[in-house]
């Protein structure tokens, strides 16, 4: 039997790198993709016991993703595990986000996943049809921000809600046509990765202007929350493979955060106005309001 292949975007750091380490431990061929060349080169150099194809790719760019998919097909054939994981963060009051913020964040967080799904799913389905023993799994990285709508980070929320919707639909669509290819959505909460510093890889064409007060406040809050996370990226990578092994769709790093999801869904079901997200920690909400309203 030929070796299995894993395609991992955002593989230079965080969840991507830790997932690559686990995939290598299972003897899988690795296709490592990142936009940051130095991080990717360092990551690829780690893996000496498995075959590695590493490529610098901006996942938002259709032509670059199409070239990647062709290279994977030529080198390894259809992958068995596709981890559409590359992501960037952006905060601030939703009307203060520039068009370039929307284009950058939706380009990476949403269109990057769209490209991974539209290019690799047909390859995986063809492999399933040709081989009854083939099994494949697509994991898309969303966020708890795809299940909730925390204030002052609207562009990110929108991108991650879209990934949840896309992946739930993918799961249902796959179940119509095959029993051999599955999907999961990863919804991490605050975990120490590099996402809070993702502006380091912001392309020049989407150059950011001077940050607004709300954006600076959001960045400071995110830095604090991400850096204080108790769970590691390696812990989350283990959850990804557990979901693949046991065909679990939802991957939540912090199940306790689902209480907020329940409240949100009750708001919908009861047709009541959205609940204050700081209801259980009013001092945080009061502090944020005071900062934003101060001259």
Q: Are residues 89 and 220 in the same domain?
A: yes
In the chain, the number of structural domains is 2
Residue whose tokens read 């001092």: 283
Mean pLDDT computed over every residue of the chain: 91
Lowest-pLDDT range of 108-112, 187-191, 225-229:
225-229
Give the pLDDT confidence score for residue 203 in this predicted structure.
Answer: 60
Q: Are residues 53 and 110 in the same domain?
A: yes
pTM, two decimals, is 0.91
The most confident of 48-57, 149-158, 271-280, by mean pLDDT: 48-57
pLDDT tens profile 200-243: 555 666 566 677 777 777 777 666 655 656 788 999 999 999 99
Q: Are residues 239 and 271 in the same domain?
A: no
Contact 105, 155 (CB under 8 A): yes
- Rounded to an integer, what distance in angstroms lies between the CA atom of residue 115 and that of residue 140? 11
**Which residue would you say has higher pLDDT here, 216 or 199?**
216
Q: Are residues 97 and 210 in the same domain?
A: yes
Give the pLDDT confidence score for residue 228 in this predicted structure.
Answer: 58
Q: Are residues 209 and 285 in the same domain?
A: no
Q: Are residues 120 and 211 in the same domain?
A: yes
Contact 30, 52 (CB under 8 A): yes
- Domain housing 272: 257-295
What's the CATH code of the domain at 181?
A: 3.40.50.720
Give the pLDDT confidence score for residue 196 in this predicted structure.
Answer: 46
Q: For the chain, how many helices (H) and strands (E)?
A: 10, 7
């Amino acid at each position: 039997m030929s070796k299995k292949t894993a395609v991992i975007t955002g593989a230079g750091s965080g969840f991507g790198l830790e997932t690559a380490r686990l995939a290598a431990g299972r003897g899988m061929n690795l296709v490592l993709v990142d936009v940051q060349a130095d991080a990717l080169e360092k990551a690829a150099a780690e893996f000496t016991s498995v075959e590695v194809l590493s490529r610098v790719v901006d996942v938002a760019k259709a032509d670059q993703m199409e070239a990647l998919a062709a290279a994977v097909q030529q080198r390894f054939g259809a992958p068995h595990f596709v981890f559409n994981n590359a992501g960037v963060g952006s905060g601030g009051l939703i009307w203060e986000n520039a068009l370039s913020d929307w284009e950058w964040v939706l380009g990476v967080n949403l269109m990057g996943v769209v490209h991974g799904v539209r290019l690799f799913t047909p390859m995986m389905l063809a492999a399933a049809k040709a081989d009854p023993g083939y099994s494949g799994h697509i994991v898309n990285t969303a966020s708890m921000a795809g299940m909730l709508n925390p204030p002052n980070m609207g562009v990110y929320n929108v991108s991650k809600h879209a990934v949840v919707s896309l992946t739930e639909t993918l799961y249902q669509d796959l179940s119509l046509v095959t029993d051999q290819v599955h999907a999961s959505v990863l919804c991490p909460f605050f975990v120490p990765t590099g996402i809070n510093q993702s502006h380091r890889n912001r392309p020049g064409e989407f150059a950011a202007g001077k940050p607004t007060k709300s954006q600076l406040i959001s960045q400071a809050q995110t830095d604090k929350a991400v850096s204080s996370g108790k769970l590691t990226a390696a812990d989350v990578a283990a959850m990804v493979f557990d979901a693949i092994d046991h065909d679990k769709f939802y991957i939540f790093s912090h199940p306790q955060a689902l209480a907020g999801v329940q409240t949100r869904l009750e708001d919908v079901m009861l047709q009541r106005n959205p609940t204050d997200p700081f209801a259980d920690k009013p001092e945080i909400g009061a502090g944020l309001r005071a900062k934003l309203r101060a001259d």
